[in-house]
């Protein structure tokens, strides 16, 4: 079964540093999402991406966040100046929507620790 791949699996960074989280979605998916999950808490929507554009973003997705699909395959989430409260699991997800039973496929996640 096709998978969504995320790298790195774990990243530790100092406060104020920039991080880039990477996702390789399933090739025929068209809609992409980033979510985050602070330890022990619910999964929160960050941003959606379709046709090489942001289609929706949450209040969490402020100016320090950006998302790109630089080469048509990889999909990145950049946090420009990390804060302690950015420590969380970050998941990318994709969906195709041509099958009535379509599901949202989540990647393995990147655990970000800001120290």
Partner 1 sequence: ELKVEQNPLFLSMQEGKNYTIYCNYSTTSDRLYWYRQDPGKSLESLFVLLSNGAVKQEGRLMASLDTKARLSTLHITAAVHDLSATYFCAVPNLQGAQKLVFGQGTRLTINP
Q: How far is the CB of 56 from partner 1 (least distance, A)?
A: 4
Does residue 44 interact with partner 1 by CB under 8 A?
Answer: yes
Tokens of 23: 């996702």
Quick note: the x/- pattern for partner 1 over 47-86, rule CB under 8 A, is -x-x----xx------------------------------
Query: In terms of Cα–Cα distance, which of 93, 79, 86 is closest to 23?
Result: 93
Q: Among 14, 27, 28, 42, which residue sits at the site for partner 1 (rule: CB under 8 A)?
A: 42
Non-local (6+) Cβ contacts of 58 within 8 A are 44, 45, 46, 47
Which single residue is written with the structure tokens 């960074």?
13
CA dist 29 and 21 (Å) reads 19
Q: Which residues bind partner 1 (CB under 8 A)?
A: 31, 33, 35, 41-45, 48, 50, 55-56, 89, 91, 93, 95, 100-109, 111
């Amino acid at each position: 079964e096709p998978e969504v791949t995320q790298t790195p699996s774990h990243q530790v960074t100092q406060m104020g540093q920039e991080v880039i989280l990477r996702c390789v979605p399933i090739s025929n998916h068209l809609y992409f999402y980033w979510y985050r999950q602070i330890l022990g808490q619910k999964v929160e929507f960050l941003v959606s991406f379709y046709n090489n554009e942001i289609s929706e973003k949450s209040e969490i997705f402020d100016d320090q966040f950006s998302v790109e699909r630089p080469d048509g395959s990889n999909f990145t989430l950049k946090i420009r100046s990390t804060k302690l409260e950015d420590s969380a699991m970050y998941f990318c997800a994709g969906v195709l929507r041509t099958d009535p039973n379509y599901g949202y496929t989540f990647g393995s996640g990147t655990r970000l620790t800001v120290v």
